[in-house]
């Protein structure tokens, strides 16, 4: 790839909002796989956050995860040597792990590469029936996926018109899986991705019954630009 490559959305002091209409699918070198990059540090290495679509029968050659891989299966069935994972499955493969992923029926996944916190060597293979949903408030349920140090990942369900409470002094990201949110009155439909340097004063509301992935990190000592 050309040396003129420009990193995509890697300044995490800046907020980023990507909606479905902004999507820009790219063919991966290992076609028939398509990628929609949300954050990208380098052409084929470094930190990456993306939506990835495997067409039926698609396979990736074996590859290593230098600093871990995190996957949420959005649709279809994602597979590797460890098994077959239906929509709603959550996978973590720590630094140094490797696999040869594929999908017989096709699938779409949300992927974060090389972004594990130092010392986080947790391997997870959670299928939907293994998630532990808890009612936190009327109209709000949460299934904790993973916590380590200052980081937390969870699935959250909201009834229509419920506000989305997010912890102050944290930064992070939200992926809308089902339904839709409003951000200060602006719509965030399913497949929208939001990353912010601080959740402080962010006004999010469920516009309908909604399911989201939420990733937070306490921002102690973090200075906003």
Is 21 strand, coil or helix? helix
Last residue of a domain, one of 69, 103, 126: 126
Last residue of a domain, one of 104, 126, 148: 126
Last residue of a domain, one of 84, 101, 126: 126
Could you tell me the residue range of the domain that residue 200 belongs to?
131-218
- Max CA pair span of the chain: 52
pLDDT at residue 107, rounded to an integer: 98
Predicted confidence (pLDDT) at residue 222 exceeds the cutoff of 70: no
Q: How confident is the model at residue 2 (pLDDT cuts 50, 70, 90)?
A: very low
pLDDT at residue 3, rounded to an integer: 60
Provide the domain count of the chain.
2
Predicted confidence (pLDDT) at residue 23 exceeds the cutoff of 80: no
What is the percentage of the chain residues whose pLDDT exceeds 90?
A: 82
**Tokens, residue 155:** 């699935």
Q: Please indicate, yes or no, whether residues 122 and 69 belong to a single structural domain of this protein.
A: yes
Predicted confidence (pLDDT) at residue 31 exceeds the cutoff of 80: no
C-beta of residue 150 within 8 angstroms of C-beta of residue 131: no
| pLDDT tens-place string over residues 137-149 | 999 999 999 999 9
Predicted confidence (pLDDT) at residue 30 exceeds the cutoff of 80: no
**Separation between Cα atoms, residue 207 and residue 88, nearest integer Å:** 22
**Tokens, residue 138:** 């009327």
- Average pLDDT on 161-188 reads 95
Report the phi/psi class of residue 145: left, alpha or beta, with left for phi > 0 and alpha for psi in -120 to 50.
Answer: alpha
Q: Please indicate, yes or no, whether residues 68 and 82 belong to a single structural domain of this protein.
A: yes
**Tokens, residue 2:** 């050309």
Q: Please indicate, yes or no, whether residues 159 and 207 belong to a single structural domain of this protein.
A: yes
Q: Please indicate, yes or no, whether residues 115 and 41 belong to a single structural domain of this protein.
A: yes
Query: How many other C-beta atoms lie within 10 A of the C-beta of residue 75?
Result: 15
Q: How confident is the model at residue 69 (pLDDT cuts 50, 70, 90)?
A: very high
CATH assignment of the domain containing 30: 2.60.120.10
45 inside domain:
yes
The pLDDT mean for the chain works out to 93
State the burial class of residue 140 (Cβ atoms within 10 Å of its Cβ: 0-12, 13-18, 19+): middle
The total number of residues shown for the chain amounts to 225
Predicted confidence (pLDDT) at residue 81 exceeds the cutoff of 90: yes
């Amino acid at each position: 790839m050309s040396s003129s490559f420009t990193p995509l959305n890697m300044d995490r002091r800046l907020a980023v909002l990507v909606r479905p209409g902004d999507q820009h699918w790219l063919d991966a070198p290992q076609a028939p796989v398509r990628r929609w990059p949300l954050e990208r540090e380098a052409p084929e290495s470094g930190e990456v956050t993306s939506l990835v679509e495997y067409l039926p029968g698609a396979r990736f050659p074996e590859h290593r995860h230098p600093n871990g891989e995190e996957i949420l299966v959005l649709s279809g069935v994602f597979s590797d040597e460890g098994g077959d994972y239906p929509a709603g499955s959550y996978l973590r493969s720590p630094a140094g792990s490797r696999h040869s992923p594929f999908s017989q029926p096709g699938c779409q996944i949300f992927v974060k590469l090389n972004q594990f916190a130092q010392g986080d060597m947790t391997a997870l293979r959670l299928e939907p029936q293994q998630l532990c949903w808890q009612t936190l408030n009327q109209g709000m349920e949460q299934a904790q996926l993973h916590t380590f140090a200052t980081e937390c990942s969870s699935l959250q369900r909201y009834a229509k018109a419920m506000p989305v409470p997010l912890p102050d002094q944290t930064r992070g990201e939200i992926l809308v899986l089902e339904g839709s949110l409003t951000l200060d009155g602006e719509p965030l439909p399913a497949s929208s991705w939001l990353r912010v340097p601080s959740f402080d004063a962010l006004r999010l509301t469920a516009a309908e019954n909604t399911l989201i992935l939420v990733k937070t990190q306490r921002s102690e000592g973090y200075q906003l630009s």
